[in-house]
Protein backbone atom coordinates (compact mmCIF):
# COMPACT_ATOMS: atom_id res chain seq x y z
CA UNK A 1 0.00 0.00 0.00
CA UNK A 2 2.75 2.44 0.88
CA UNK A 3 4.55 1.74 -2.38
CA UNK A 4 1.40 2.15 -4.45
CA UNK A 5 0.44 5.36 -2.65
CA UNK A 6 3.90 6.75 -3.28
CA UNK A 7 3.63 5.87 -6.95
CA UNK A 8 0.24 7.55 -7.18
CA UNK A 9 1.60 10.69 -5.54
CA UNK A 10 4.64 10.73 -7.81
CA UNK A 11 2.43 10.33 -10.88
CA UNK A 12 0.10 13.10 -9.70
CA UNK A 13 3.02 15.46 -9.13
CA UNK A 14 4.47 14.74 -12.56
CA UNK A 15 1.11 15.33 -14.23
CA UNK A 16 0.67 18.61 -12.38
CA UNK A 17 4.14 19.80 -13.37
CA UNK A 18 3.53 18.82 -16.99
CA UNK A 19 0.26 20.77 -17.07
CA UNK A 20 2.00 23.79 -15.54
CA UNK A 21 5.09 23.78 -17.74
CA UNK A 22 3.41 23.03 -21.08
CA UNK A 23 1.11 25.94 -22.04
CA UNK A 24 -2.14 25.25 -23.80
CA UNK A 25 -2.83 26.47 -27.34
CA UNK A 26 -4.84 29.35 -25.92
CA UNK A 27 -2.14 30.58 -23.54
CA UNK A 28 1.06 29.82 -25.46
CA UNK A 29 2.93 32.82 -26.75
CA UNK A 30 5.44 33.16 -29.55
CA UNK A 31 9.03 34.24 -28.86
CA UNK A 32 9.40 37.99 -28.50
CA UNK A 33 11.06 39.70 -31.46
CA UNK A 34 14.60 40.88 -30.87
CA UNK A 35 13.97 44.41 -32.17
CA UNK A 36 11.53 46.33 -29.99
CA UNK A 37 11.74 49.69 -31.75
CA UNK A 38 11.25 50.86 -35.31
CA UNK A 39 14.78 51.16 -36.75
CA UNK A 40 15.80 54.81 -36.63
CA UNK A 41 16.83 56.34 -39.97
CA UNK A 42 20.06 58.36 -40.13
CA UNK A 43 20.06 61.98 -38.96
CA UNK A 44 19.02 64.77 -41.28
CA UNK A 45 22.56 65.88 -42.37
CA UNK A 46 23.40 62.33 -43.45
CA UNK A 47 20.10 61.94 -45.26
CA UNK A 48 20.64 65.24 -47.10
CA UNK A 49 23.81 63.76 -48.57
CA UNK A 50 22.02 60.53 -49.48
CA UNK A 51 19.24 62.50 -51.18
CA UNK A 52 21.71 64.57 -53.19
CA UNK A 53 23.34 61.36 -54.45
CA UNK A 54 20.11 59.69 -55.62
CA UNK A 55 19.50 59.46 -59.35
CA UNK A 56 16.70 61.76 -60.49
CA UNK A 57 14.73 60.11 -63.28
CA UNK A 58 11.27 59.72 -64.72
CA UNK A 59 9.23 56.79 -63.36
CA UNK A 60 9.67 53.43 -65.05
CA UNK A 61 6.52 51.95 -66.65
CA UNK A 62 4.36 49.59 -64.57
CA UNK A 63 4.55 46.92 -67.26
CA UNK A 64 4.71 43.48 -65.66
CA UNK A 65 4.18 44.68 -62.09
CA UNK A 66 2.32 42.55 -59.54
CA UNK A 67 2.65 42.50 -55.75
CA UNK A 68 3.37 38.79 -56.01
CA UNK A 69 6.77 39.67 -57.49
CA UNK A 70 7.66 41.00 -54.02
CA UNK A 71 7.10 37.95 -51.75
CA UNK A 72 6.09 39.54 -48.46
CA UNK A 73 5.07 38.54 -44.95
CA UNK A 74 7.49 35.63 -45.06
CA UNK A 75 8.22 33.55 -41.95
CA UNK A 76 10.83 35.19 -39.73
CA UNK A 77 11.02 32.57 -36.98
CA UNK A 78 8.74 29.75 -35.90
CA UNK A 79 5.20 30.61 -36.96
CA UNK A 80 5.88 34.37 -36.87
CA UNK A 81 5.73 36.14 -40.21
CA UNK A 82 6.92 39.66 -40.95
CA UNK A 83 3.54 41.27 -40.24
CA UNK A 84 3.29 39.71 -36.79
CA UNK A 85 6.85 40.69 -35.92
CA UNK A 86 6.12 44.33 -36.79
CA UNK A 87 2.83 44.26 -34.86
CA UNK A 88 4.68 43.05 -31.77
CA UNK A 89 7.53 45.50 -32.29
CA UNK A 90 5.49 48.65 -32.87
CA UNK A 91 2.69 48.02 -30.36
CA UNK A 92 2.28 48.38 -26.61
CA UNK A 93 1.40 45.44 -24.33
CA UNK A 94 1.05 43.11 -27.32
CA UNK A 95 0.19 39.48 -26.55
CA UNK A 96 0.29 36.72 -29.13
CA UNK A 97 -1.34 33.31 -29.39
CA UNK A 98 0.41 30.04 -30.18
CA UNK A 99 0.38 30.91 -33.89
CA UNK A 100 2.08 34.27 -33.22
CA UNK A 101 -1.08 36.26 -34.00
CA UNK A 102 -1.51 39.48 -32.02
CA UNK A 103 -4.59 39.05 -29.83
CA UNK A 104 -4.32 42.14 -27.62
CA UNK A 105 -2.38 45.38 -27.69
CA UNK A 106 -2.52 49.02 -28.73
CA UNK A 107 -0.78 50.81 -31.58
CA UNK A 108 -0.29 54.50 -32.28
CA UNK A 109 -0.28 55.24 -36.00
CA UNK A 110 2.57 57.65 -36.64
CA UNK A 111 1.10 58.87 -39.90
CA UNK A 112 -2.08 60.31 -38.38
CA UNK A 113 -1.77 59.93 -34.61
CA UNK A 114 -4.68 57.49 -34.31
CA UNK A 115 -4.79 55.08 -31.38
CA UNK A 116 -5.61 51.58 -32.59
CA UNK A 117 -6.89 48.97 -30.15
CA UNK A 118 -7.11 45.86 -32.34
CA UNK A 119 -4.65 44.26 -34.75
CA UNK A 120 -7.38 44.22 -37.40
CA UNK A 121 -7.23 48.03 -37.44
CA UNK A 122 -3.50 48.01 -38.19
CA UNK A 123 -1.81 47.86 -41.58
CA UNK A 124 1.90 47.21 -42.01
CA UNK A 125 3.03 49.85 -44.48
CA UNK A 126 6.05 49.66 -46.73
CA UNK A 127 7.64 53.07 -46.27
CA UNK A 128 8.63 52.99 -49.95
CA UNK A 129 5.65 51.19 -51.49
CA UNK A 130 6.26 48.16 -53.66
CA UNK A 131 4.76 49.78 -56.76
CA UNK A 132 6.81 52.94 -56.21
CA UNK A 133 9.93 50.82 -55.88
CA UNK A 134 9.05 49.11 -59.16
CA UNK A 135 8.81 52.48 -60.90
CA UNK A 136 12.09 53.51 -59.28
CA UNK A 137 14.24 50.60 -60.40
CA UNK A 138 12.99 47.44 -58.68
CA UNK A 139 11.63 46.29 -62.05
CA UNK A 140 15.20 45.15 -62.78
CA UNK A 141 15.71 43.25 -59.50
CA UNK A 142 15.68 39.51 -59.00
CA UNK A 143 13.15 37.84 -56.70
CA UNK A 144 15.47 37.44 -53.66
CA UNK A 145 16.19 41.20 -53.70
CA UNK A 146 12.49 42.01 -53.92
CA UNK A 147 11.78 39.59 -51.05
CA UNK A 148 14.44 41.24 -48.89
CA UNK A 149 13.02 44.69 -49.67
CA UNK A 150 9.44 43.67 -48.87
CA UNK A 151 10.41 42.12 -45.51
CA UNK A 152 13.19 44.46 -44.37
CA UNK A 153 13.17 44.55 -40.55
CA UNK A 154 16.71 45.95 -40.26
CA UNK A 155 15.88 49.36 -41.71
CA UNK A 156 13.00 51.84 -41.51
CA UNK A 157 11.00 50.22 -44.32
CA UNK A 158 8.12 48.66 -42.36
CA UNK A 159 5.81 50.46 -39.93
CA UNK A 160 2.48 49.75 -38.24
CA UNK A 161 -0.07 52.44 -39.15
CA UNK A 162 -3.81 52.91 -39.39
CA UNK A 163 -5.54 51.21 -42.28
CA UNK A 164 -7.04 54.56 -43.27
CA UNK A 165 -3.66 56.28 -43.62
CA UNK A 166 -2.18 53.33 -45.49
CA UNK A 167 -5.07 53.37 -47.97
CA UNK A 168 -4.71 57.13 -48.43
CA UNK A 169 -0.99 56.80 -49.09
CA UNK A 170 -1.34 53.77 -51.41
CA UNK A 171 1.71 53.81 -53.73
CA UNK A 172 2.15 57.59 -53.74
CA UNK A 173 5.51 59.26 -53.31
CA UNK A 174 6.05 62.27 -51.01
CA UNK A 175 5.32 64.45 -54.04
CA UNK A 176 1.67 63.36 -53.78
CA UNK A 177 1.17 62.30 -50.16
CA UNK A 178 2.54 63.21 -46.74
CA UNK A 179 1.52 62.07 -43.25
CA UNK A 180 -1.30 64.21 -41.86
CA UNK A 181 0.68 64.42 -38.62
CA UNK A 182 3.23 67.04 -39.63
CA UNK A 183 5.40 66.30 -36.60
CA UNK A 184 6.30 63.05 -38.36
CA UNK A 185 7.45 64.69 -41.60
CA UNK A 186 11.11 64.81 -40.58
CA UNK A 187 11.25 61.11 -39.70
CA UNK A 188 9.19 60.17 -42.74
CA UNK A 189 11.49 62.00 -45.15
CA UNK A 190 14.59 60.58 -43.47
CA UNK A 191 13.22 57.04 -43.63
CA UNK A 192 12.01 57.30 -47.24
CA UNK A 193 15.28 58.79 -48.46
CA UNK A 194 17.42 56.28 -46.58
CA UNK A 195 15.52 53.30 -47.99
CA UNK A 196 15.86 54.65 -51.52
CA UNK A 197 19.57 55.19 -50.92
CA UNK A 198 20.14 51.71 -49.48
CA UNK A 199 18.39 50.02 -52.40
CA UNK A 200 19.75 52.44 -55.03
CA UNK A 201 16.29 53.48 -56.20
CA UNK A 202 15.58 56.58 -58.26
CA UNK A 203 13.55 59.62 -57.27
CA UNK A 204 11.59 62.00 -59.46
CA UNK A 205 12.33 65.73 -59.36
CA UNK A 206 9.02 66.56 -57.56
CA UNK A 207 9.69 63.75 -55.09
CA UNK A 208 13.15 65.12 -54.28
CA UNK A 209 11.74 68.63 -53.82
CA UNK A 210 9.09 67.34 -51.42
CA UNK A 211 11.64 65.35 -49.43
CA UNK A 212 13.82 68.43 -49.06
CA UNK A 213 10.81 70.42 -47.83
CA UNK A 214 9.99 67.79 -45.21
CA UNK A 215 13.63 67.62 -44.13
CA UNK A 216 13.43 71.37 -43.51
CA UNK A 217 11.09 70.55 -40.60
CA UNK A 218 13.81 68.61 -38.77
CA UNK A 219 15.06 70.30 -35.58
CA UNK A 220 18.32 72.18 -35.94
pLDDT of 20 > 70? The answer is no
Domain ranges of the chain: 29-215
Q: Decide: residue 193, CB within 10 A, 0-12 exposed, 13-18 middle, 19+ buried.
A: buried
Query: What pLDDT was estimated at residue 24?
Result: 32
Split at pLDDT 50, 70, 90, the class of 32 is: very low
Whole-Å CA distances, 136 to 72, 80, 114: 19, 30, 30
Those residues whose C-beta lies under 8 Å from the C-beta of residue 205, and which sit 6 or more positions away, are 56
Split at pLDDT 50, 70, 90, the class of 3 is: very low
pLDDT in tens, 149-177: 999 999 999 999 999 999 999 999 999 99
User: Is the model's pTM score more than 0.85?
Assistant: no
Query: What pLDDT was estimated at residue 220?
Result: 87
Q: Which of 13 and 131 is assigned the larger pLDDT?
A: 131
- Cα(126)–Cα(160) distance, integer angstroms: 9
Those residues whose C-beta lies under 8 Å from the C-beta of residue 170, and which sit 6 or more positions away, are 129, 177
Amino acid sequence: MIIRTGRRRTTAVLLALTAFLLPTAASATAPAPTRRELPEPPPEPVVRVELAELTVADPHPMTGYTREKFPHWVKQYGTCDTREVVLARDGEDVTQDSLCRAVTGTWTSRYDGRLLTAASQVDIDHMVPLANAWRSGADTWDTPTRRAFANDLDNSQLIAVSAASNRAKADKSPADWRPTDQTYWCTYARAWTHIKSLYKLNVTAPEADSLNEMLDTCPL
